[in-house]
């Protein structure tokens, strides 16, 4: 036997090294794609700006390079004040939706679960509707909408949690059912608020918000909070990847492999509710990203969550930024709600997925 083969066998007795290398490869490819996406997306819009200029403007603001300014002040304002925060928010929201989708699919052991399953977005929508139509949360000043949406999201998750726990144990199916029930109740509340409101303009902006938009992105505290929460959530879910693996198999298996399923599920619930609450407050409810991206990530790197979570985060970020570019450019100067774009792209994808699912099951 040649010496190299022997050495390889010793290094990789289980034959898992190839998959690990493939994951690392994908992480590099996706990171590069994300950077390219970011720069192109900042350049794209009603006024196009060449990528090199974009890179120079960002470099100038971040580290003072290049010293010589060769672009116009309006270009600077468009890149730095308008489009960059929007693209960053898009990346954060896309990544956040994707990793929360991964966590929820493991938590309730259902491949059709998405981050909105727990009723969090319905709660946020009710809060946002109350703010837009009836001036709720006015005490929070410029953050009235976001604060009100977040309070709605928080109330919804608390309700879901309390109902799910009423039997003593937070099981997957109980969580699923209480999430759906609370979601419907709050959806009705939002619809009623819109119906009860006299303001047609207000109703229109609630609808716009319900379909999702990155238009609120500024260099403000909201962007900072969103960044901290979502990066924290992605980190937590990656670290607990092995525990997500065993939870996804079953509660009893999780327990015999050293993971207390109920306690872990409650922690996940806190992390996911907080993340979804923050991102819905920042960008409205954007469908399909959290449902579809986890499947895409699993196709690329397999099932272990240590790999799926970071890959899903990058994929979600890239996809959402491109969806936002389409939303801005397609009917420019008018902007299409981004949720329409993601649903249009996501639905056929989901159908393909279901076909594949049946093919492998049979």
Burial of 10 (0-12, 13-18, 19+ CB in 10 A): exposed
Q: Which of residues 106-125 bind other proteins (CB under 8 A)?
A: 109
For other proteins, which stretch binds (CB under 8 A), given 92-100, 160-168, 299-307, 332-340?
299-307
Out of 48, 195, 198, 252, point to the residue binding other proteins (CB under 8 A): 252
16 binds other proteins, rule: CB under 8 A: yes
Out of 1, 14, 200, 362, point to the residue binding other proteins (CB under 8 A): 14
For residue 333, whether the previous peptide bond is cis, meaning omega lies within 30 degrees of 0, is yes
- Structure tokens, 90: 């898009």
Q: How many CB atoms lie within 10 A of CB 294?
A: 30
| Shortest Cβ 197–other proteins spacing (Å) | 45
In this complex, which beta carbon is closest to other proteins, that of residue 8 or of residue 220?
8
For other proteins, which stretch binds (CB under 8 A), given 74-82, 155-163, 173-181, 240-248?
240-248
In this complex, which beta carbon is closest to other proteins, that of residue 258 or of residue 348?
258
| Shortest Cβ 352–other proteins spacing (Å) | 17
How many Å apart are CA 152 and CA 146, to the nearest integer? 10
DSSP annotation of 139 reads G
How many Å apart are CA 295 and CA 317, to the nearest integer? 15
Q: Which of residues 323-362 bind other proteins (CB under 8 A)?
A: 360
253 binds other proteins, rule: CB under 8 A: yes
Number of residues that bind other proteins (CB under 8 A): 31
| Shortest Cβ 254–other proteins spacing (Å) | 8
CA atoms within 13 A of residue 72's CA, in its CB half-sphere:
6
At residue 187, what are phi and psi to the nearest 5 degrees?
A: -60, -45
DSSP annotation of 166 reads T
How many Å apart are CA 244 and CA 103, to the nearest integer? 7
* Sites of contact with other proteins (CB under 8 A): 11-16, 19, 109, 239-240, 242-243, 245-246, 248-250, 252-253, 255-260, 298, 302-304, 306, 360
């Amino acid at each position: 036997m040649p010496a190299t083969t022997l050495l390889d066998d010793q290094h990789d007795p289980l034959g898992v090294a190839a998959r690990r290398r493939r994951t690392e490869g994908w992480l590099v490819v996706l990171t590069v794609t994300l950077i390219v996406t970011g720069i192109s997306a900042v350049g794209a819009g009603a006024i196009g700006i060449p990528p090199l200029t974009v890179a120079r403007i960002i470099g100038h603001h971040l580290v003072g390079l290049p010293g010589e300014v060769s672009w116009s002040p309006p270009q600077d304002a468009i890149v730095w004040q308008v489009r960059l925060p929007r693209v960053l928010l898009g990346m954060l929201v896309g990544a956040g939706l994707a990793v929360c989708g991964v966590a929820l699919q493991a938590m309730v052991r259902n491949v059709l679960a998405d981050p909105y399953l727990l009723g969090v977005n319905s709660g946020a929508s009710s809060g946002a509707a109350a703010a837009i139509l009836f001036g709720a949360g006015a005490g929070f000043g410029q953050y009235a909408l976001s604060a009100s949406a977040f309070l709605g999201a928080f109330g919804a998750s608390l309700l879901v949690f309390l109902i799910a726990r009423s039997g003593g144990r937070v099981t997957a199916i109980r969580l699923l059912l209480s999430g759906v029930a609370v979601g419907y109740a709050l959806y009705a509340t939002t619809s009623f608020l819109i119906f009860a409101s006299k303001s047609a303009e207000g109703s229109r902006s609630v609808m716009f918000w319900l379909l999702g938009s990155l238009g609120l992105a500024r260099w403000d505290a909201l962007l900072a909070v969103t960044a901290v929460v979502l990066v924290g959530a992605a980190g937590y879910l990656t670290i607990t990847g092995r525990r997500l693996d065993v939870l996804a198999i079953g509660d009893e298996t999780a327990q015999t492999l050293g993971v207390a399923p109920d306690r872990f599920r409650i922690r996940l619930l806190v992390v996911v509710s907080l993340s979804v609450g923050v991102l819905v407050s920042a960008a409205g409810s954007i469908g399909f990203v959290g449902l579809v991206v986890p499947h895409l990530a699993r196709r690329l790197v397999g099932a272990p969550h240590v790999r799926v979570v970071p890959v899903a985060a990058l994929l979600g970020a890239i996809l959402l930024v491109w969806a936002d570019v389409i939303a801005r450019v397609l009917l420019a100067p008018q902007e299409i709600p981004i949720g329409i774009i993601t649903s249009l792209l996501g639905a056929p994808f989901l159908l393909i997925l279901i076909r594949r699912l049946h093919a492998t099951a049979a």
